Amino acid sequence: MLNAKKPPVRKSSAKIKGDALESAVRILESAILKLSPGYSEKTFHIIPNKIICVDGVHSELDIWIGVDIGNGYTASFIFECRNWKKKTNKNDVIVLIDKINAAQAQTGFFIAKSFTRDAIAKAKSNPRVKLLRVSEVDFSQVPSCIQYFHAVEQTVRHADCTIKLKSDKETGESVQLDLRTAAFVLDGEICDLSKYIDDWRNELFSTTANAFRSEKMPEGSYTLPFEEMRSFSDGGALLNGEFVDRITMSGRVELNVWRGELESRFEVETRGRVFRSVVRTSSGQLSVTAHELAMIPPQ
């Protein structure tokens, strides 16, 4: 009997956008707490999507932060994040106030792109509510390390080596050579031919791949050919007692370029900016994040 696997659950675009904003806010708040003299030496916890239940009523908090301020006291803060086009209204603020009371939080922050006049007025009536606007930073202001973040994966490395002796005639025929038993003398010293060729080949693989300017290349597959020849004077190199004229190494490196996807470039007023890019490859996911605080807390 075969057990069919359930297909992975795909997140909606709204869910993805919401998660990106929540992640950005967590990064900012963690950085702020670490630099704040009142909290930097304390233990704090940041929990996303925390569920609380008061009098049988469940509430989900986008972000909950608890700080151990000592002597058995804990300060808590909650964040509601809305990465929506439409304005946040008064009823949304009322729901946040209910969550503040249920969580016994010192402050509740509502982070959204815009607010209605009634929402602003309602927030002003409760000192524990703070409204913060979030906006997207212009792409030109995104750090270059985020703009050009990408991954390069080598898929094929191939090389052929040709050894031409000074006594060889140009017949076009190739002769099989056992690298392990070949007697190779280089500059008067016995040398392991197999290691010599392996080291040279790996060096060419590396230099060829490193010379490829991938930072601005479109996503896709690329083939990078290479060829290098080393010539020897009489007596410079001997193979099985024969003078070596030249050795040629030619081959290719094939690789894939995966471009990063700019997941967030948020600016939260009075808090700071967060930039994050994600690369999704056939073998996994990579990400890079950078942030700038709006104001460095005094030390």
In this prediction, residues 42-47 reach a mean pLDDT of 84
Q: How confident is the model at residue 147 (pLDDT cuts 50, 70, 90)?
A: very high
pTM for this structure?
0.75
The bridge status of strand 57-70 relative to strand 129-136 is: unpaired
pLDDT given for residue 15 in this prediction: 84
Q: How confident is the model at residue 283 (pLDDT cuts 50, 70, 90)?
A: confident
CB 244 within 8 A of CB 163: yes
Question: For residue 173, is pLDDT > 60?
Answer: no
The bridge status of strand 242-259 relative to strand 129-136 is: unpaired
Question: For residue 110, is pLDDT > 80?
Answer: yes
CB 161 within 8 A of CB 249: yes
82 Cβ contact partners less than 8 Å away, ≥ 6 residues apart: 18, 21, 88, 92, 110, 111, 112, 113
Amino acid (one-letter) located at 156: V
Question: For residue 1, is pLDDT > 50?
Answer: no
Which parts of 73-213 fold into alpha helices (H)? 90-103, 117-124, 144-147, 193-211
pLDDT given for residue 71 in this prediction: 74
Helix (H) or strand (E) holding 152: strand 150-165
Question: For residue 17, is pLDDT > 60?
Answer: yes
The bridge status of strand 129-136 relative to strand 107-112 is: parallel
HSE (side-chain half, CA atoms, 13 Å) at 117: 0
pLDDT given for residue 235 in this prediction: 83
What span, in angstroms and rounded, lies between the C-alpha atoms of 161 and 201?
9
CB 253 within 8 A of CB 157: yes
Domains (range + CATH), the chain? 13-142+262-293 (3.40.1350.10), 150-258 (no CATH)
In this prediction, residues 42-68 reach a mean pLDDT of 91
In this prediction, residues 186-197 reach a mean pLDDT of 93
Least confident range from 24-38, 165-179, 183-197, 263-277: namely 165-179
> Three-state SS for 209?
helix
In this prediction, residues 138-151 reach a mean pLDDT of 94
pLDDT tens track for 201-250: 999 999 999 999 998 899 999 999 999 999 998 889 999 999 999 999 99
Q: How confident is the model at residue 41 (pLDDT cuts 50, 70, 90)?
A: low
Burial label for 73, CB within 10 Å (0-12, 13-18, 19+), is exposed
HSE (side-chain half, CA atoms, 13 Å) at 6: 3
pLDDT given for residue 221 in this prediction: 96
φ, ψ dihedrals at 136, nearest 5°: -95, 130
93 Cβ contact partners less than 8 Å away, ≥ 6 residues apart: 110, 115, 119, 122, 123, 129, 131
In this prediction, residues 76-104 reach a mean pLDDT of 96
pLDDT given for residue 5 in this prediction: 43
pLDDT given for residue 127 in this prediction: 96
